[in-house]
Amino acid sequence: MSNMQKQNGAGFNGQGEKAHGRRVGTDELKRGLAQMLKGGVIMDVVTPDQAAIAEEAGACAVMALERVPADIRAQGGVARMSDPALILSIMERVTIPVMAKCRIGHFAEARILEAIGIDYIDESEVLTPADEAHHVDKRDFAVPFVCGARNLGEALRRISEGAAMIRSKGEAGTGDVVEAVRHARAIIGEIRRLKTMRRDEMFAYAKEIQAPFQLVEETADLGRLPVVLFAAGGIATPADAALMMHLGVDGIFVGSGIFKSGDPAARARAIVEATTHFNDWKIVAEVSKNLGEPMVGINVSVMPERDRIAGRGW
Amino acid sequence: MRIGVLALQGDFIEHEHMLARLGIEAVEVRLPRELEGLDGLIMPGGESTTFGKLAVRFGLVEPLRAFAQSGRPVWGTCAGLIFLAKDVGRDQVTLGLMDVRVKRNAFGRQIDSFICDLQIVGLEDKPFPGVFIRAPIIESVGERVHTLCRLEDGTIVAARQDNLLATAFHPELTDDLRMHALFAQVCERSSPGRVAYET
């Protein structure tokens, strides 16, 4: 083992061994943190104060950003990784896990986030892609990654690259849940169909959806993705969160939906409660009361094609 | 026998799968009424601050305390251990049942998470796979607390106090059923109408 690996634990090649026979950066650990987030809500925050509000509301993690997706949309320009100083100030403020985004394919941004000790990296289509052919080789990192997907093939391609958690892409920054529903239904519905296939059909199916056969077979055996699946993109109300949980996701990302609404603290708390009690409609109804104005939405069906970001990534 | 799994947030389904493999009925607990008729309770991994907020808002704190004080077995893993503890070194809602001082995120951030072999009291036949994810440690224990497992450097990562069991690691993320089987045995022995539970 090199000195670099001894000092840094995992060194620069993801998995490794520390003193006392401790194994670090394994798939089990990367996927395991996502399992700890299940049944919870991960909230976009742009300041340490917002992070504190999210934690107080019961968020199970926060996504540290300079701009929420709605502002990235409104302001245009190139959207990049956030300032590490901002991310660190958020990490210092809360005890829950902190995630941050890098651009698709931008492994240098990913290395910077890993170097500051981020808990999870979102290789995100919300930022401007840095590489139009290649995603980050996520197996090579000690820190786990979450990636967006619109269908089962895309989800399994990301997992084959080393993603330890998948989220629907949805259409971020719109407050319109329709795309998150489309993507979650696609992923979960395709798994349901896969479970009914004979093996010879699976070979053909793997080719059709451009996913590695081993992962297709593993998904069929498990009856679910081999990693945790969250909903993201356009979730703005407790009812949206309950809807996504009923479709079969393991938890919820809320981006612009909280801090672009009239009463962020109350809305954040209500979305956490609706995610836990998604099976109890009386509770979902109760927590939906008196939340003030939701974020002003953008209807995705009338949005020009060039404004859509879910198509980024491949 | 029915064992409850606190299902406010976290990896409660993994605990349910382990219990199912042992042929035990698992019951998800989100509200006080769901504690009725249970022979034991597991509090899973997840975020302990989230558990605390939701437990307060849905009136679970006192019913959970009463459940444990009735003598029925309660086991906390990782966040569940934090939620059981008397002292977590910061202002945070916990059940305050177990006489231990816990340090949260004691090993650092996610990149410091690790897996290692453990020697656990009562499971001496072979090492137990210890999965530590942003894990807490037990910094000190009160008189009534028995230490069940230490890391090589002496850090306490599992302990028992009467009917309360706590582990800083995640047996539910492994294929090793021994911790769950041990807990189920304790639940079986302490369930009403059976002989008093001996340790």
- Mean pLDDT, rounded, for A40-56: 98
pLDDT tens digits along A242-271:
999 999 999 999 989 999 999 999 999 999
Indicate if the pLDDT at residue A3 is higher than 50.
no
A6 pLDDT band, cuts 50/70/90, is very low
Q: Which residues of A are catalytic?
A: 101
CB contact under 8 A, A35 and B113: no
- Mean pLDDT, rounded, for B128-137: 98
Identify all chain B residues contacting A277, using CB atoms and an 8 Å cutoff.
Answer: 30, 58
Superfamily of domain B2-189: Class I glutamine amidotransferase (GATase) domain (3.40.50.880)
Pairwise CA distance, residues B119 & B130, whole Å: 9
pLDDT of residue B180: 98
Terminal CA-CA length for chain A: 36
What's this model's pTM, rounded to 2 decimal places? 0.94
Rounded percentage of chain A residues whose pLDDT exceeds 70: 95
Indicate if the pLDDT at residue A35 is higher than 80.
yes
CB contact under 8 A, B113 and A29: yes
The mean pLDDT of chain B is 95
pLDDT tens digits along B88-126:
999 999 999 999 999 999 999 999 999 999 999 999 999
* Residue A70, helix vs strand vs coil: helix
Indicate if the pLDDT at residue A9 is higher than 60.
no
pLDDT of residue B195: 44
Distance from CA of A276 to the nearest CA of B (A): 6
Block residue for tokens 């500051």: A116
CB contact under 8 A, B113 and A143: no
CB contact under 8 A, A33 and B13: no
Q: Does any CB of chain B come closer than 8 Å to the CB of residue A223?
A: no
Terminal CA-CA length for chain B: 20
CB-CB contact of A151 with A186 (8 Å): yes
pLDDT of residue A7: 39
pLDDT tens digits along B38-54:
999 999 999 999 999 99
3-state secondary structure B64-95: HHHHHHCCCCEEEECHHHHHHEEECCCCCCCC
The DSSP symbol for A297 reads: P
Residues 262-291 of chain A whose Cβ lies under 8 A from any Cβ of chain B = 269, 272-273, 276-277, 280
| Angle of CA points A184, A187, A190, to nearest 5° | 135
Block residue for tokens 């950066």: A25
How many CB atoms are located within 10 Å of the residue B100 CB?
26
Distance from CA of B109 to the nearest CA of A (A): 6
A139 pLDDT band, cuts 50/70/90, is very high
Pairwise CA distance, residues B164 & B65, whole Å: 11
pLDDT of residue A117: 97
ipTM of this predicted structure? 0.94
pLDDT tens digits along A303-314:
888 888 888 887
Residue A168: what are its φ and ψ, rounded to 5°?
A: -65, 155
Block residue for tokens 């034991």: B40
DSSP states along chain B: -EEEEE-SSSSHHHHHHHHHHTT-EEEEESSGGGGTT-SEEEE-SS-HHHHHHHHHHTT-HHHHHHHHHTT--EEEETHHHHHHEEE-SSS------EEEEEETTTT-SGGG-EEEEE--TT-TTS-EEEEESS--EEEEE-TTPEEEEE-TT--EEEEEETTEEEESS-GGGSS--HHHHHHHHHHHHHSTTSPPP--
Tokens of A13: 């090649």
* Residue A121, helix vs strand vs coil: strand
Name which of A101, A104, A29 is nearest A255 in CA terms: A101
The mean pLDDT of chain A is 93
Identify all chain A residues contacting B9, using CB atoms and an 8 Å cutoff.
Answer: 38-40, 58, 60, 276
pLDDT of residue A186: 98
How many CB atoms are located within 10 Å of the residue A89 CB?
14
Of B30, B108, B115, which has the smallest distance from its Cβ to A28's Cβ?
A: B115
Q: Does any CB of chain A come closer than 8 Å to the CB of residue B137?
A: no
pLDDT tens digits along A70-100:
999 889 899 999 999 999 999 999 999 999 9
Q: Does any CB of chain B come closer than 8 Å to the CB of residue A295?
A: no
